[in-house]
Amino acid sequence: MGSVGAKEVPVLLSPEGIRVDGRRLDELRPLRVVAGPLHRADGSAFVEWGANKVMAAVYGPREVHPRHLQQNNKAIVQCKYNMAAFSVDERKRPGLDRRSQEISKVIAEAFESVIFAEEYPRTSIDVYIEVLQANAGTRCAGLVAASVALADAGIPMADLVPAVAVGKVAGEIVLDLNKAEDNFGEADLPMALVPQSGRLVLLQMEGHMTREELSRALDMGVKGCHVIYDKMKAALRDRYSAARPTEVAA
């Protein structure tokens, strides 16, 4: 342990290049994607990604609320990202805060660019993301879950939208930051990719890195997104090839 001011800073990288949780620099946390676990929603997905647990539910296309948001030529995409009070170490104050509003907005915008919204004028496609347990990277986990939930709801889209955060930790570019790396690393850069077109539909950065590092980080993130993409597609295949999960819809 080193220390900066009052904060204890853990050793984030071993001399052999192994991270606090035993991963290599370009290794993702274990990721499990389940399509269609909820029966009341039009589409749903559950994502367990490292210590993150995120549920997404999709409703629509349906009537727009509030009505004045309705658009005559296309569907609108509305997103609500919420962190449960019990999702973090110290109880989070429930309800809408600025961070949740910002994340909801950037996720809705990412989906607006892939959903064929013109097919459903005057309707709303509503995406709910509930973070049940958080350990950094929840906006990316939320995007992955919501993307699979949208596909599960049968919403026509150009592609799924895998997402991952890349960053800089102890001077090295790393894939998929965990909480310690997010807290004590030098940079955190969540990104979302449309694999078939190669377009990035979300890119944010906190911290600092050089242009050369940024370029390597983007390459690493794109590779990571392709691995995540395959898991998302596999979850949808499982959903429609196997019988529904054991619970019976009431």
Which chain residues interact with ligand ADP by CB under 6 A? 88, 90, 92, 99, 134-139, 179, 182, 188, 190
Closest approach of Cβ 165 to ligand ADP, in Å? Answer: 6
Closest approach of Cβ 244 to ligand ADP, in Å? Answer: 30
By C-beta, is 64 or 180 nearer to ligand ADP? Answer: 180
By C-beta, is 54 or 76 nearer to ligand ADP? Answer: 54
By C-beta, is 117 or 174 nearer to ligand ADP? Answer: 174
Closest approach of Cβ 137 to ligand ADP, in Å? Answer: 5
By C-beta, is 155 or 220 nearer to ligand ADP? Answer: 220
Closest approach of Cβ 124 to ligand ADP, in Å? Answer: 25
| CA 209 – CA 217 distance, rounded (Å) | 9
| CA 74 – CA 114 distance, rounded (Å) | 13
| CA 36 – CA 212 distance, rounded (Å) | 41
Give the CB-nearest residue to ligand ADP. 138
Distance in angstroms between the alpha carbons of the first and the last residue of the chain:
53
Closest approach of Cβ 201 to ligand ADP, in Å? Answer: 15
Alpha-carbon radius of gyration of the chain: 19
Burial 90-109 (b: 16+ CB within 10 A, else e): eebeeeeeeebeebbebbbe
Assigned token pair, 189: 């850069």
By C-beta, is 136 or 161 nearer to ligand ADP? Answer: 136
| CA 219 – CA 196 distance, rounded (Å) | 16
